[in-house]
Structure 1
Amino acid sequence: MAKNLQNILIVAVSTLGSRLLGLLRDILMMGFLGLSATSSAFIFAFTVPNLFRRLLGEGALSSALIPIFSGALKEEGKGPAFGFANRVLSRALVVLLGLSAVGMLGFGIGWVLIRHAGLAETLQVDHEQWEKGCAMGVVLLPYMVLVCVAALMGGLLNVLQRFAVHALTAVWLNLAMIATLAIGGWGMGLKGYPLALALCAGVLVGGAVQLIVPWVALRREGWRARFDFSPAERLTELNKIFLPAVAGAAVMQVNVLVSRLLAFGLNETGVTALYLANRLVELPLGVFAIAVATVIFPNLALMAATDDKPGIARLYGEGLRLILAITVPAAVGLAVLAGPVLGLLFEWGRFNALDVDQTVPVLAVFACALPFYGLATMATRGFHSMKDTRTPVRIAVVSFVVNLVLSLILMRPLGTVGLAVANLVSAGVQAVGLAAVLPRKLTVFSGARLVNGLVRIVLAAVVMGVLTWELAQVLSQWIAPGKWADVITVLVIIPVSAAAYFGLLWLSGFEDRKALLSLILRRGA
């Protein structure tokens, strides 16, 4: 576990920098655009290429590619393994270019129908919001090609134990978007829709850098790019894993798209509120949970290649306990302190106190889903490491149906909060389903050890949550509500509560307490 922990730390530190820059990007974006039709239109348009990134670049194709590339590397060496990678990248590039062209055409037709054929009036939706969304969709779709190819290259680098390169990928996008907002908003005085269009251009610049960096890193490992459409036996094996996996990943991404579409049609603030809540939840999820899963997955794949099921069970259990030890208290803390966190980070410029109040319940609900997201991420990697992509598909379909039905039932009486509740329940269904089925494949997996660790985690998190609430109530008696109260709450109460949680977890005899402490302290350093 020592080597894995070192790599987890590398990914966690890299991802932390990326997430903090992403947070700064969102703070600037909300300050300039606010909770408005323009911000919702940009986020909706940006959702589409990001869905394909998660579906292909970081999802099904990457999950299918890593085990087979690992096997080729182990059995044949770098040369043949890179040759196989070129075959996959060549085919992926053609598909991505085709999808991008079709998507741009679809957004273009939608823009024409809304602007000139009265489609918005027919559907009884906001004309301006949908027109802006379609226009920005045309501009942003080429980003899908850049980021998906970059993500596939990042997966190859992970197998080669070059984790930091891929973990830093989002840094380049965030820097490009921050620079665009600063230059366009402060330097040029752009506002509203013109600034959003400039931000689209910044995304494309960031995407280009995202592709160049892993390209250079792979070349240093001996890879040389070339188009190769020749057949190979491993491609057949890839297709057997990829096709079921892409179906499952598609279900999950359609799940996200359906929620965004429903929110986009519900009101002009729903998409942005869902986006902000999801982004804040992704901070601990990406820094720790996904970092753990990212490092452990290639090692699981290598163990699966040698049919080392005891090793898979041991490593999977360690990773799962570490993920839950971080995500459960993060969920509790974020739900309790949703208001101060949102107020401190976003309440400036066009994002006012009313916008904070509208977003608080959405964030509180999303925070509760954090452990489920972490659990599902790790469990899915466990299935994929053993080349089982069918089981996650079946469970994802059930999760999608639950989300869709609950969204349609709850969106009218509860608004955006109803969509968040539907996401929470569907995430729970998916996570519990995956976690319940996987141990049947790993007969040596100790469910008792996981439950034992989870009980300690939950008890420590509950005590932490009560302490956090009480401290916030005491603070409210001394300081009037406002920015300073938010600052003190975040900078004082969060560290005190976190220290109490980790202290309780340590005293309870949590099995992985030393690895967890090392991860936290070295990540903080």
Structure 2
Amino acid sequence: MKNKAKQSGKIAKSAATVSIAVMCSRVLGLVREQIFAGMFGAGMAYDAFVVAFRIPNLLRDLFAEGALSAAFITVFTDYDTNRTREETWQLASNVLVFFGILLSLLTLVGIFFAEPLVNLLASDFSAIEGKTALTILLTSIMLPFLVVISLAAVVMGILNSKGKFFVPAMASAFFNLGSIVGGVSLAFILPKFGHPAIVGMAIGTLIGGTLQLMVQFPALLKCGFKFTPRLRIKDPGLKRIITLMIPAIIGLSPTQINIFINTNFASSCVEGSVSWLNYAFRLVQLPIGIFGVALAIAAMPVLAKHAAKKDINGMKETMVSSLTMVFSLTIPASIGLMILAEPIIHIIFERGAFTAFDTSATANALILYAIGLFAYSSNKILVPVFYALEDTKYPLFASFIAVGANILIITFTIEKFQHLAIALSTSCSMILNFLFLSVVLYIKTGGYSVSYLFKALGKIAASGAVMALLLLWSRSFLTAQLNGGLLQACIVLAAQIVVASTLYITLLHFMKLQELNSVTSKIRERFSR
């Protein structure tokens, strides 16, 4: 128990650091989405941008935030633990050179095949004149984003393995900052030269991605990194990373297939469906990033070190502690998003080209996405455990099960529920994925403390239920304030969230949930500094 407390404190400290940085990034991300909503609403231009960005983003999820990141951290941590300093930095340099070249070639191929890619992803766009052509143009502009963001992920992996979390987590805030400043500036300038304003936002994405990579360099040099511009294809460390990546890419590809299927279905729904789903999922990504991704980033090096030392018991304790923290943070977030969906969307997006109808459509999607929030975030913890164990076949099976469930649910519900069918199927498939991975890990590792998880879940559910009652009671008052001005509505919403969160944390504190106390104490420490 002492060891579990120590692990939770260590992960909570790193997660608190990452959460603060991710919070800055996600807030700037919301500002970026507000700008999109105000300038372009939920119509042709933003639909085209979402689909165009989805193509490099699908590949980014495979390389930057998926297979490459997890495989690199596993091997780099092993080198850092068991090899010389020189060998460790040579591996890092070789990986940067190899993937810089590989992804540049992949980007050129993507630009060449941009038209068939867009037609495959959103064939129904051709029904609206100029929509497919605009999407192809935006795709060609944004594809190089894949290169810079993947290299940024490698640099982030190095810094995380060295115990540096704040700078790499904060780097994504610079992506949003670059996208906002560069994109908005160009969106006002380019129409004067006959180009659509949305093209400026596409170029802004490249500016933001480059900033995300560059801002990490000073911290990397402080760690003693020495870049060697040399490509060694036969390097055993690089081979090991690629060996881990191949099954991991296959394992992650069903998730990307799901996104592809969802985008294809959404493009066949009424115009604006792609935009509504994207705005709603952006809001769900706020707690996913602050809680799920932050905890996964903090836990991954710890899991990798346990794996390098063959300490399976330590790995299981880390996983259970991390999952408990995820549950304690994402379940109340889901409750809040579901109950306050419409007021939140109204306050954040409803202005300019974004109408009251768009608010309603987006809010309904948000409610259904929020159902699977806990599972989506928990999978961010479970999948790296398989990578640390160098066993990637089970995430592959889980992903294919999720794809099958996704297709079935959408097929039977799309006609009646339109874009809402996609949000519902996403949550259901994520929950199924989570259940499968949890059971397999229990069998594979010889069992972990399920009783501890269920006791914690009972405390979380009880506290969440009380919080939900408070929010339901006060929701009607908030709805009445929406017509009283934006500032007034913001103040009332913020007050509701603060009071509900305080009640929830207080209840869990009295119930003595160790993990949440660890998180809150570390966040207090960080802010007090």
Q: With the length of structure 2 as denominator, give the TM-score of the two structures.
A: 0.92
Secondary structure in structure 2 of the residue aligned to 1:168: helix
- Decide whether the 8 Å contact of 2:49 with 2:138 is kept in 1: yes
- Which residue number corresponds to residue 409 of structure 1? 412
Secondary structure in structure 1 of the residue aligned to 2:234: coil
For residues 361 and 489 of structure 1, the distance between their equivalents in structure 2, rounded to whole angstroms, comes to 22
For residues 225 and 518 of structure 2, the distance between their equivalents in structure 1, rounded to whole angstroms, comes to 34
- Structure 1 residue 74 displacement after superposition: 1.1
Deviations 1:47-87 (A, max 9, x none): 11122111101101111111111111111132101212233
Question: Pairwise mapping of residues 411-490 of structure 1 onto structure 2 (< 5 A)?
Answer: 411-443=414-446, 445-476=448-479, 483=486, 486-490=489-493
- Which residue number corresponds to residue 161 of structure 1? 163
- Which residue number corresponds to residue 98 of structure 1? 105
For residues 478 and 214 of structure 2, the distance between their equivalents in structure 1, rounded to whole angstroms, comes to 49
- Decide whether the 8 Å contact of 2:481 with 2:488 is kept in 1: no
- Which residue number corresponds to residue 303 of structure 1? 306
- Mean Cα deviation higher: 78-87 or 184-193: 184-193
- Mean Cα deviation higher: 307-316 or 182-191: 182-191
For residues 170 and 260 of structure 1, the distance between their equivalents in structure 2, rounded to whole angstroms, comes to 25
For residues 68 and 135 of structure 1, the distance between their equivalents in structure 2, rounded to whole angstroms, comes to 38
- Mean Cα deviation higher: 264-273 or 319-328: 264-273
- Which residue number corresponds to residue 136 of structure 1? 138
Q: Which residue, 91, 107, 111 being the options, matches 2:114?
A: 107
- Structure 1 residue 230 displacement after superposition: 3.7
Question: Pairwise mapping of residues 170-181 of structure 1 onto structure 2 (< 5 A)?
Answer: 170-181=172-183
For residues 232 and 411 of structure 2, the distance between their equivalents in structure 1, rounded to whole angstroms, comes to 45
- Which residue number corresponds to residue 393 of structure 1? 396
Secondary structure in structure 2 of the residue aligned to 1:512: helix
- Which residue number corresponds to residue 48 of structure 2? 41
- Mean Cα deviation higher: 458-467 or 415-424: 458-467
Q: Which residue, 277, 290, 296 being the options, matches 2:293?
A: 290
- Structure 1 residue 524 displacement after superposition: 6.4
Deviations 1:147-199 (A, max 9, x none): 11111121121111121222122112211121135434567887997211011
Distance verdict in 2 for CA 1:517–1:222, change over 3 Å: closer
Deviations 1:268-323 (A, max 9, x none): 21111111111111111111221111011111101111111111111111111111
Distance verdict in 2 for CA 1:289–1:523, change over 3 Å: farther
**Identity between Structure 1 and Structure 2 (%):** 26
Distance verdict in 2 for CA 1:78–1:337, change over 3 Å: same
- Which residue number corresponds to residue 250 of structure 1? 253
For residues 357 and 251 of structure 2, the distance between their equivalents in structure 1, rounded to whole angstroms, comes to 38
Question: Pairwise mapping of residues 500-519 of structure 1 onto structure 2 (< 5 A)?
Answer: 500-519=503-522
Q: With the length of structure 1 as denominator, give the TM-score of the two structures.
A: 0.93
- Decide whether the 8 Å contact of 1:251 with 1:397 is kept in 2: yes
Amino acid across the alignment from 1:152: V
Distance verdict in 2 for CA 1:475–1:196, change over 3 Å: closer
Deviations 1:411-458 (A, max 9, x none): 221110011111111111111111121122332521110111011111
- Structure 1 residue 509 displacement after superposition: 2.6
- Which residue number corresponds to residue 10 of structure 1? 17
- Structure 1 residue 247 displacement after superposition: 0.4
RMSD over aligned CA atoms reads 2.5
Q: How many residues align?
A: 519
For residues 192 and 280 of structure 1, the distance between their equivalents in structure 2, rounded to whole angstroms, comes to 33
- Structure 1 residue 359 displacement after superposition: 0.8
Question: Structure 1, unaligned stretches of length 5 or more?
Answer: none
For residues 245 and 31 of structure 1, the distance between their equivalents in structure 2, rounded to whole angstroms, comes to 39
- Decide whether the 8 Å contact of 1:172 with 1:210 is kept in 2: yes
- Decide whether the 8 Å contact of 1:339 with 1:360 is kept in 2: yes
**1:358 paired to 2:351:** no
**1:335 paired to 2:338:** yes
- Decide whether the 8 Å contact of 1:376 with 1:435 is kept in 2: no
For residues 242 and 100 of structure 2, the distance between their equivalents in structure 1, rounded to whole angstroms, comes to 16
Question: Structure 2, unaligned stretches of length 5 or more?
Answer: 1-6
Amino acid across the alignment from 1:63: A
- Mean Cα deviation higher: 294-303 or 6-15: 6-15
For residues 478 and 279 of structure 1, the distance between their equivalents in structure 2, rounded to whole angstroms, comes to 25
- Decide whether the 8 Å contact of 1:8 with 1:292 is kept in 2: yes
Q: Which residue, 91, 95, 105 being the options, matches 1:84?
A: 91
